[in-house]
């Protein structure tokens, strides 16, 4: 998180910045806060997720791809009412916006979520999230199998998601390009809990055409703390 957001949370006391996951709450969930006025930080070093996701891919993905979505999104909403919305409100009526806002706004938000969904530290889902996954998919293994299959088979560029529906039930879905489940154009809508980028730029340097291997290794670096916190605060 950015220093200024952190200071807003703790007032003026100058204490060491806490671990990202310790301060994850409603005020800094990406879709609920104001659109970032500066390009948001990556919450770890480029090589933090080696060997599952290599440093060069992370660096290019963050500094080139994510940065370009952010820059183009800011240009697309400049001096429009959209600039004052949270992305959640913007995405709820994204069908009324130009494609530049939909594609770049999605790219800005989806990558923020994706970075937060990854961690170098091994984590486990909370008891509450685990119970909800077992209720919706029978078991954690069945959930991972369904999510992996969707991610591996997704045709073209896009994303795989674990989503909490409005009825509280969890489901797996996929979206094209930079669309996401918060958008009114999404076939299956809800609150995204876990995101996986399956655009070729997310894995091609290391895995080339072997997307299934990238998807299998993704499970080694999932930040279940953040996914659990998103589930609990949705």
List of residues contacting Mn ion (CB under 5 A): 65, 197, 199, 202
Return the residue matching tokens 């969890």: 170
By beta-carbon proximity to Mn ion, the closer residue of 108 and 137 is 108
Cβ neighbours of residue 182 closer than 8 Å, sequence gap 6 or more? 31, 87, 88, 91, 92, 109, 189, 191, 192
**Helix 127-137 vs helix 140-153: angle between axes, to the nearest 10 degrees?**
70
Task: State how far the Cα of 137 lies from the Cα of 63, in Å rounded to an integer.
Answer: 36
Task: State how far the Cα of 36 lies from the Cα of 108, in Å rounded to an integer.
Answer: 10
User: Nearest approach, Cβ of 28 to Mn ion (angstroms)?
Assistant: 22
User: Nearest approach, Cβ of 201 to Mn ion (angstroms)?
Assistant: 5
By beta-carbon proximity to Mn ion, the closer residue of 129 and 222 is 222
User: Nearest approach, Cβ of 198 to Mn ion (angstroms)?
Assistant: 9
By beta-carbon proximity to Mn ion, the closer residue of 129 and 183 is 183
Q: Residue 153: which region, alpha, beta or left (left: phi > 0; alpha: psi -120 to 50)? A: alpha
User: Nearest approach, Cβ of 157 to Mn ion (angstroms)?
Assistant: 9
By beta-carbon proximity to Mn ion, the closer residue of 125 and 181 is 181
Structure tokens, 63: 């500094």
Number of Cβ within 10 Å of residue 22's Cβ equals: 10
Task: State how far the Cα of 197 lies from the Cα of 200, in Å rounded to an integer.
Answer: 9
User: Nearest approach, Cβ of 66 to Mn ion (angstroms)?
Assistant: 7
By beta-carbon proximity to Mn ion, the closer residue of 179 and 197 is 197
By beta-carbon proximity to Mn ion, the closer residue of 57 and 119 is 57
User: Nearest approach, Cβ of 178 to Mn ion (angstroms)?
Assistant: 8
| Residue nearest to Mn ion as judged by C-beta position | 197
Structure tokens, 190: 């809800």
User: Nearest approach, Cβ of 202 to Mn ion (angstroms)?
Assistant: 5
Helices within the chain (DSSP H only): 3-10, 55-60, 67-77, 87-92, 99-116, 127-137, 140-153, 204-207, 211-218, 224-233
By beta-carbon proximity to Mn ion, the closer residue of 197 and 225 is 197
């Amino acid at each position: 998180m950015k220093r200024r957001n952190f200071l807003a949370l703790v007032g003026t006391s100058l204490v060491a910045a806490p671990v990202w996951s310790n301060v994850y709450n409603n005020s800094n969930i990406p879709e609920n806060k104001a659109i970032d006025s500066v390009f948001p930080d990556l919450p770890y070093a480029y090589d933090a997720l080696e060997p599952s996701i290599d440093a060069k891919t992370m660096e290019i993905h963050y500094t080139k791809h994510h940065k370009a979505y952010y820059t183009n999104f800011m240009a697309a909403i400049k001096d429009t009412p959209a600039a004052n919305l949270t992305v959640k409100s913007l995405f709820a009526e994204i069908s009324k916006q130009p494609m530049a806002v939909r594609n770049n706004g999605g790219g800005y938000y989806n990558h923020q979520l994706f970075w937060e969904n990854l961690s170098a530290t091994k984590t486990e889902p909370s008891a509450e999230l685990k119970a909800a996954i077992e209720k919706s998919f029978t078991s954690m293994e069945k959930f991972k199998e369904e999510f992996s299959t969707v991610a591996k088979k997704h045709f073209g560029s896009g994303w795989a998601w674990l989503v909490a529906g409005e009825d509280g039930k969890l489901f797996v879905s996929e979206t094209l390009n930079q669309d996401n489940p918060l958008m009114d154009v999404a076939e299956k809508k809800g609150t995204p809990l876990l995101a996986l980028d399956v655009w070729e730029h997310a894995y091609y340097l290391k895995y080339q055409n072997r997307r299934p291997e990238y998807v299998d290794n993704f499970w080694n670096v999932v930040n279940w703390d953040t996914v659990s916190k998103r589930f609990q605060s949705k």
